[in-house]
Amino acid sequence: MTKPEWRRREFLEKCIVRGGLIAGVPMTANQLFGFWQKAEAAARKPTAPEVLGPFFKKGAPDNRDMRVAGEPGMLLQVSGAIVDTRGNAVPGARIDMWHADHKGIYDVHGSRYRTKLAIESGATYEVKTIMPGHYPDRPAQHIHYLITAPGCKPLVTQLYFATDPFFEGDPDKNRGKRGVVSHRESIRPVTLLDEASTPHAAVSFDLVLESA
């Protein structure tokens, strides 16, 4: 069977021969093919959407450290890039994040474990919080997201944790239990760190937005 790479190359060469593809600067066919491959490699799959859920509240403050003094829970650092499907940085995003406390209870009256980040410069985000608890209706730990950004479609998604006991050490096998997690890529690896005798978990979760 012909490799997809060669089918693409044949397609590209036909475009060049027929004048359907013109480089802005003089390039050989090989250079053009390399250019094409590089552009494809940078492409990103959009972050998988999830439901908004019943606990979203408008008006959260921009809080980069959601920890609450005196409340238990493992420190969790979540960070990532905000990019489009071409891999380009997307500045100017607004990111609502909200999750349950260590007991699995949402604050429906105030703003505990809620934030709305205003990313004024750059295209990355980082927050400190605690690892969310479990609750009966959604027995996997998760953080909800609502992201808006100029020129992009709004995205509602959720982040899950590969270390969650719910997955019994095997997210690939167990993510579908009770229909909780729709997309495997929403379950992120967790790095456990012990800096200055403060154990904490760190997770990277990039937000890949589709153009509007």
Closest approach, Cβ 146 to Fe ion, in A, equals 12
Four-CA torsion 137, 96, 117, 158, nearest 10 degrees: 60
**Cα distance between residue 31 and residue 9, in whole Å:** 12
Note whether 15 and 120 are within 8 A (CB).
no
Note whether 50 and 157 are within 8 A (CB).
yes
Residue nearest to Fe ion (CB): 53
Q: What's the Cα-to-Cα distance from 24 to each of 9, 42, 95, 179, rounded to whole Å? A: 19, 20, 37, 49
Note whether 69 and 128 are within 8 A (CB).
no
Looking at the Cβ atoms of 53 and 92, the one nearer to Fe ion is: 53
Looking at the Cβ atoms of 116 and 138, the one nearer to Fe ion is: 138
Looking at the Cβ atoms of 113 and 125, the one nearer to Fe ion is: 113
Looking at the Cβ atoms of 53 and 91, the one nearer to Fe ion is: 53
Closest approach, Cβ 166 to Fe ion, in A, equals 13
Looking at the Cβ atoms of 12 and 147, the one nearer to Fe ion is: 147
What does the binding site for Fe ion look like in residue numbers (CB under 5 A)? 53, 138
Closest approach, Cβ 118 to Fe ion, in A, equals 23
Closest approach, Cβ 167 to Fe ion, in A, equals 17
Closest approach, Cβ 140 to Fe ion, in A, equals 9
Q: What angle, 0 to 180 degrees and rounded to 10, lies between the N-to-C axes of helices 4-17 and 29-42?
A: 130
**Cα distance between residue 59 and residue 116, in whole Å:** 8
